[in-house]
Structure 1
Amino acid sequence: MKCNQLFIILFFTLFFLKGNAQEFKLGKVSVEELQEKNNPTDSATVAAILFEKGAVDFEYNQNDGFIMITEVTTRIKIYKKEGYDWANKAVSYYIGSNAKETVFFSDAITYNLINGKIEKVKLKSDGEFDEKVNKYWGRKKITMPNIKVGSVVEFKYRIRSSRFSELTEWSFQSSIPVNYSEFKTSIPEYFVYNPNIKGFISPKITKENSNKSLSYSYRSEARPGESVGSSSSQEKLEFLETRTVYVAENLPAMKEEAYVNNIANYTTSVSHELSVVKFPNQPYKTLSTDWASVTKTIYDYDDFGPELNKTGYFEEDLKVVIAGLSSPEEKFLAIFNHVKETVKWNDYYGYSCNDGVKKAYKDKTGNVAEINLMLTAMLRYAGLTANPVLVSTRSNGIALFPNRTAFNYVIAAVETPKGLVLLDATDRFSTPNVLPLRALNWVGRLIRNDGTSIEVDLMPKAPSNDVVMMNYEIDINGQVSGKLKRQRTDYNAIIFRGNIKNVKEDVYLEKLENDNNKIEISEYSRTNENDLKFPIVENFSFSSSNFSENIGGAIYINPMLFFAVEQNPFKQENRAYPVDYGFPFIDKYNITIKIPDGYKVETIPTPLLLNMEDNLGGFKFMINTSGNSIQLVLTHQINVPIVVADYYPMLKEFYQKMIEKQNEKIVLKKV
């Protein structure tokens, strides 16, 4: 009897579990999924990926050889109107001159629960779009129909490609929660890929080998007097295939935090790059196993190393540019400025030349590689020791693993007795060792003539300054009026110059007024806007009645006015990512305040000195009164470009104390 009861309980338990287990197949949307109002693990999320599965396989045909097929199936739940964008999907594909790709969407359906019944609406042709992004890339997009709060959408897309030097990077995490993520690769033994996993969550990995075969027609060379067709035969080739499955479940949303250069650097993902090709009866072809082989491979590309040796297009111009110059510093600065003034960047990234350095110089426009490889060649012509440096931009992610796609940018470096001088002629406001912010991404790889390489630290060491000198007075009604001078150097200067480029002064001033509590600005001037040897300086007069309060006959005012930071940028309790400022900096404020006649200082903030551990940074707030004026000197200093996550609690507390001090008020009372 007990055995029968146990059997019945076990049967119904298994039946219940089977009936409630989520089906990771398209077309199996459940009523429960449609009824779900909020995500069980993140009630605030606007959408969630219920499952996403990717599979990479290789097909073979006689004409094209191996073709890589990537198939992705996805199901997404929409919880809020703000999540409607998740009902759209865009897939990029290569349309360059050689190995082209194609993308096909299918099984795209929107599900809604209407009066207790599941309603399905299929994607129609008017919801599918194909566009050309540039000469290298196209993009196919779908916009799912009939989206409502509560909808579930699912779709499949398939990419056919002969570009299998790398597999699609698979991200298990997203900016919304992911319930289930699976990536499967089935790779013939002829291709060896290096898998690289990054992120803070480890997927479960299983691997197995199986025997496969393919058929092809073989035609031997015809002997004299023999017809060509008589030697054709059908052959069968057996090979080993390795199947690897990566699975991760219940992944939290990757949320943006302050001072993160690229959230993708810390997102759990797996990438694969081809390292060895070993076809039968052919020698091994090694592509990339370490940084040395990666950089050697890149240097040997026709559109990289050989471009450095092209001559006959700049020599006559350069003789004029460096005439009379003797020191290396004078020469590289003159050549650097010549390239910046002569060839404009066309906004294309890449370490490979498109049309080549000669055409770029002739047409006065080129991509990153054409401009900076041209710069390197000119520096060498002038007798300087110059080499290209491969870089991964901040948007491309940190170059963690040896692979050719780790980099997407190149700059120039000059060796001097004082060390390397890094140059990027794509930005008109860049100066020696002050690169555009996009290129400040940990480390690069310098490649010498022989293809050998060394690691180069790209992160700045010297602080960039932002110095404000402000004098203002307060009248008896709390009206503030004064003058301000602001001076920016190095990275603060290059960022500011870039922000104001092509912006009309009246538009800039309107924004400046609105961004600073609607102050009124007059007598505005700007100096050294294009003279990069000097700091860029702003001067203006200002007035406002928005910075003080009159309570019980006393005037309350924040001495920092519109420069006071009100909220701590670090809101998370804990942080897994480093804090990336991009560059060290010193923000300094020297403020003099004149108090109105008939008033005296009743309350003034107390001075404060904060220093972080290991000399990471500090804060100094010094204030005193003298007669009818108040003098404030405030310094906020960060000494390193990147603060590792271990220091996050200390950094968060440091900012909280600094902000509290900045927002303490002066109280002025009638005499």
Structure 2
Amino acid sequence: MKKVFLLSLFICINTIAQNRDLGKVTVQELEEKVCPIDSSAVASILFSKGDVRYDYTQGNGFTMSTTVKTKIKIYKKEGYDWANKAVNYYIGSNPNEKLSFSNEITYNLVNGKIEKTKLKSDGEYDEKVNQFWGRKKISMPNIKEGSIVEYEYTLISSNFGSIDKWLFQSSIPVLYSEFNVVVPEYYSYKPAFRGFITPKIITDRKSRTITLTSKSSVGSGFNTKSSINSDSFTYSENISKYILTNIPAIKDEKFTNNIKNYISSVELELSSIQFPGEPVKTFLTDWESVVKKIYENNDFGNELNKTGYYEKDIDAILAGLTKNDEKINAIFTFVKSKMNWNEFYGYSCNDGVKKAYQEKKGNVAEINLMLTSMLRFAGIEANPILISTRGNGIALFPSRSAFDYVISGVELGNEIILLDATNKYSLPNILPIRDLNWFGRLIRKDGSSSHIDLMPKANSKEVINLMADISATGEVTGKVRDQYFDYNAFRFRDNYNGLTKESLLEKIEKKYQGLEVENYDVQNNNDLSKPIVESYSFVSNNAVEIIGDKMYFSPFFHFALTENPFKQDVRLYPVDFVYPAQDKYSISIKIPDGYTVETLTENKAIGLPDNLGNFKYNISNNGNQIQLLYSLDINSAIISSEMYHAVKEFFKEMVNKQTEKIVLKKM
């Protein structure tokens, strides 16, 4: 029975491999109107196959080759973007990676026959992203509803540190995904899986023989004869095949961290190398080993020890300061004001801290390692913290590529103060949003490290005061005073500080359709010690509905949340609010003469389990005045997927309450 099962499995896999190759497009596929596993899909990946192998060339040794073949079906115009593909490749040092596209064809059904359109040279682009990365892009021709596109690309690399992550899942359905990795026995890789769908894994082992040739000469002068000698060596290859079929599209929705954190994928990180007759060279064991190796790098640890280039400046800044918090703030403010971030990520210095200091410009590592060094020079217990930004994904597994950024951490008593000087508006423990990604790793001088929680704990407030006056015609005039604290203030400054008041006024009118804004003002743009204060007057002609002798309106007016941001029935990944927050509204409404309140909304208070969140709605009526006090607290930056249903219902109740109408009746 076991032999029969294995034979059947082999036949099945072999049949699948035969049916999934480029150039095998059928009329039935082109006639297909909807994806068989998702009728709403705008496109689907019919198959995607990746093959990684090591090739040996005499004189150069091993190189790694990755070939990817993809076949995509376009169902709707909204899916046309899936006919484009971009792939990055490393150009930062010799030898550079080499990337090439091939077999780029679009298929259409014309009068019952298959029409092929090949990609021409003007449909392929090569660009330099930055000093480290290049990018090749293709834009497939003759795309229509019903088209099928195919392409292949090959990446040649001598960087064996990790094998590029393979994504089984996508934002459109994937009918078949296969990833094959063939690695010489000398290299050992550790797979790390993400997502909620696990692939089938098939392993094997085979031998491979490499023949080497050399040329030798015998004799001298005219009697010299040449001969070709050959030698060979044999080694084993470890084969891993990962397969997933009928993979649903991963649905993104609001309050989601980098969706790639939750896409089903596999990444292989080099853990060790051992060639015959040589000791094992280990690369990957645990977090302690990973961060210690990073710290020992010349572009990291050595840069922290350099002080001569800034000592006089820091001595002058610290003159007369005795308290540690004063010294921290003074140095932090100095670095932010002097240095300009060149928007390059990474935890290694490029030009070095000294040159960056002189040019007043540097990458993340140069700015924040410089900051850490200055704090240490001032006698502060400061250490670098390696992090993975939100765009890089959550660092779940020990690897050097898990991190792409470094900040500074000050140990002051029982508290660790987090600092990032790449942003002019950041404050102690108010980091740029890109940094807020679960956990980081603090590295001390002795090489030891600690797990650091990067997520904010205190609620960042927004306090809104609204005074409104409703006329007999239903026109609403009013004034708004909106205060932003902590992370809310940081985001405002980071997003809008470069805009004029006219642009900010237009932003509000665009956000709240039908609102006319006047007397716009904003205060404390650059005074980071104070909250942002935004104020304006407004007129609205669409906030009140008049039917007969009655008026209907929400007391939140244009601030009302009218739609639940959570739409999925099931969500397998956490809800990410970025940081805990509190919204407080104080709303005062004057109703028109000749009207009385017929129906007043009811007070309400609802909470999430474990005090994860709550809202309180308290409303009262006194003559021609309506007073509403409302607060919403989200007490945790991240809420697990197990609580998704509760969060969805919580927001449903909140939307219902904010859109609930007060009814006025003409007397």
TM-score above 0.5 = yes
Alpha-carbon contact 2:437-2:454 (below 8 Å) kept? yes
Q: 1:553 to 1:432 in 2, by over 3 A?
A: same
* Uncovered stretches (5+) of structure 1, i.e. residues with no partner: 1-14, 221-228
CA distance in 1, matches of 2:159, 2:255: 35
- Which moved further from structure 2: 396-405 or 515-524? 515-524
Q: For 2:455, give the aligned amino acid.
A: M
CA distance in 2, matches of 1:83, 1:514: 28
Please point out which of 259, 274, 278 is paired with 2:274: 278
CA distance in 2, matches of 1:598, 1:103: 76
1:426 maps to what in 2?
422
What is the CA distance between 1:128 and its match in structure 2? 1.5
2:7 maps to what in 1?
none
Q: For 1:51, give the aligned amino acid.
A: F
Confirm whether residue 45 of structure 1 aligns to residue 41 of structure 2. Answer: yes
SS at match of 1:307: helix
Alpha-carbon contact 1:517-1:546 (below 8 Å) kept? no
2:205 maps to what in 1?
209
Confirm whether residue 180 of structure 1 aligns to residue 179 of structure 2. Answer: no
Q: TM-score, normalised by structure 2?
A: 0.94
Alpha-carbon contact 1:92-1:137 (below 8 Å) kept? yes
Alpha-carbon contact 1:75-1:153 (below 8 Å) kept? yes
Alpha-carbon contact 1:101-1:159 (below 8 Å) kept? yes
Confirm whether residue 445 of structure 1 aligns to residue 441 of structure 2. Answer: yes
Confirm whether residue 366 of structure 1 aligns to residue 356 of structure 2. Answer: no
SS at match of 2:257: coil
CA distance in 2, matches of 1:60, 1:509: 63
What is the CA distance between 1:218 and its match in structure 2? 8.5
What is the CA distance between 1:283 and its match in structure 2? 2.1
Q: 1:20 to 1:351 in 2, by over 3 A?
A: closer
CA distance in 2, matches of 1:196, 1:458: 23
Please point out which of 147, 151, 162 is paired with 2:158: 162
CA distance in 1, matches of 2:111, 2:592: 71
What is the CA distance between 1:118 and its match in structure 2? 1.3
CA distance in 2, matches of 1:308, 1:264: 33
Please point out which of 570, 577, 580 is paired with 2:573: 577
What is the CA distance between 1:106 and its match in structure 2? 1.2
What is the CA distance between 1:598 and its match in structure 2? 2.3
What is the CA distance between 1:380 and its match in structure 2? 0.4
CA distance in 2, matches of 1:59, 1:609: 66
CA distance in 2, matches of 1:458, 1:99: 37
Confirm whether residue 473 of structure 1 aligns to residue 469 of structure 2. Answer: yes
2:503 maps to what in 1?
507
Alpha-carbon contact 2:163-2:267 (below 8 Å) kept? yes
2:490 maps to what in 1?
494
Q: 1:556 to 1:245 in 2, by over 3 A?
A: same
Any idea what the Cα deviations from partners look like across 1:483-542, whole Å, max 9, x if unmatched? 111111111111111110211211120121221233222222211111111111112222
Q: 1:21 to 1:283 in 2, by over 3 A?
A: closer
CA distance in 1, matches of 2:16, 2:399: 43
Q: For 1:354, give the aligned amino acid.
A: N
SS at match of 1:271: strand
What is the CA distance between 1:237 and its match in structure 2? 2.3
Q: How does 1:228-307 map to 2 (within 5 A)?
A: 234-307=230-303
Q: For 2:149, give the aligned amino acid.
A: V
- Which moved further from structure 2: 370-379 or 480-489? 480-489
CA distance in 2, matches of 1:187, 1:454: 34
What is the CA distance between 1:554 and its match in structure 2? 2.0
Please point out which of 601, 619, 622 is paired with 2:618: 622
What is the CA distance between 1:219 and its match in structure 2? 11
Q: For 2:364, give the aligned amino acid.
A: V
CA distance in 1, matches of 2:114, 2:577: 50
CA distance in 2, matches of 1:626, 1:556: 18
What is the CA distance between 1:584 and its match in structure 2? 0.6
CA distance in 1, matches of 2:658, 2:240: 55
Please point out which of 73, 78, 83 is paired with 2:74: 78
Please point out which of 42, 51, 58 is paired with 1:55: 51
Any idea what the Cα deviations from partners look like across 1:96-119, whole Å, max 9, x if unmatched? 123310011111111111122111
CA distance in 2, matches of 1:349, 1:309: 21
Q: For 1:126, give the aligned amino acid.
A: D
CA distance in 1, matches of 2:188, 2:314: 47
Confirm whether residue 105 of structure 1 aligns to residue 108 of structure 2. Answer: no
Q: 1:430 to 1:231 in 2, by over 3 A?
A: farther
CA distance in 1, matches of 2:15, 2:54: 35
Any idea what the Cα deviations from partners look like across 1:154-204, whole Å, max 9, x if unmatched? 111111100111101000011111010000000011111110011111100
2:413 maps to what in 1?
417
Identity score, percent: 54
2:392 maps to what in 1?
396
Alpha-carbon contact 1:294-1:402 (below 8 Å) kept? yes
1:346 maps to what in 2?
342
2:8 maps to what in 1?
none
Q: TM-score, normalised by structure 1?
A: 0.94
SS at match of 1:533: coil
Please point out which of 632, 638, 642 is paired with 1:636: 632
Alpha-carbon contact 1:100-1:163 (below 8 Å) kept? no
Any idea what the Cα deviations from partners look like across 1:193-239, whole Å, max 9, x if unmatched? 1100111111000101112222346899xxxxxxxx99997542222
2:84 maps to what in 1?
88
CA distance in 1, matches of 2:21, 2:227: 47
Q: For 1:404, give the aligned amino acid.
A: R
What RMSD over aligned residues (CA atoms) do the two structures have, in Å?
2.1
* Uncovered stretches (5+) of structure 2, i.e. residues with no partner: 1-10, 217-224
SS at match of 2:261: helix
Alpha-carbon contact 2:307-2:374 (below 8 Å) kept? no
1:6 maps to what in 2?
none
Q: For 2:233, give the aligned amino acid.
A: L
1:8 maps to what in 2?
none
Any idea what the Cα deviations from partners look like across 1:121-160, whole Å, max 9, x if unmatched? 2222222111111111111111112221111111111111
Alpha-carbon contact 2:514-2:541 (below 8 Å) kept? no
1:380 maps to what in 2?
376
Count the aligned residue pairs. Answer: 648
SS at match of 2:290: helix
What is the CA distance between 1:479 and its match in structure 2? 1.6
Alpha-carbon contact 2:461-2:484 (below 8 Å) kept? yes
CA distance in 1, matches of 2:524, 2:430: 17
Alpha-carbon contact 2:544-2:551 (below 8 Å) kept? yes
Q: For 2:238, give the aligned amino acid.
A: T
SS at match of 1:83: helix
What is the CA distance between 1:653 and its match in structure 2? 0.9
Please point out which of 328, 332, 347 is paired with 2:328: 332
What is the CA distance between 1:600 and its match in structure 2? 1.6
Confirm whether residue 517 of structure 1 aligns to residue 507 of structure 2. Answer: no
CA distance in 1, matches of 2:641, 2:343: 33
Any idea what the Cα deviations from partners look like across 1:467-493, whole Å, max 9, x if unmatched? 101111112112211211111111111
2:535 maps to what in 1?
539
Confirm whether residue 35 of structure 1 aligns to residue 31 of structure 2. Answer: yes
1:558 maps to what in 2?
554
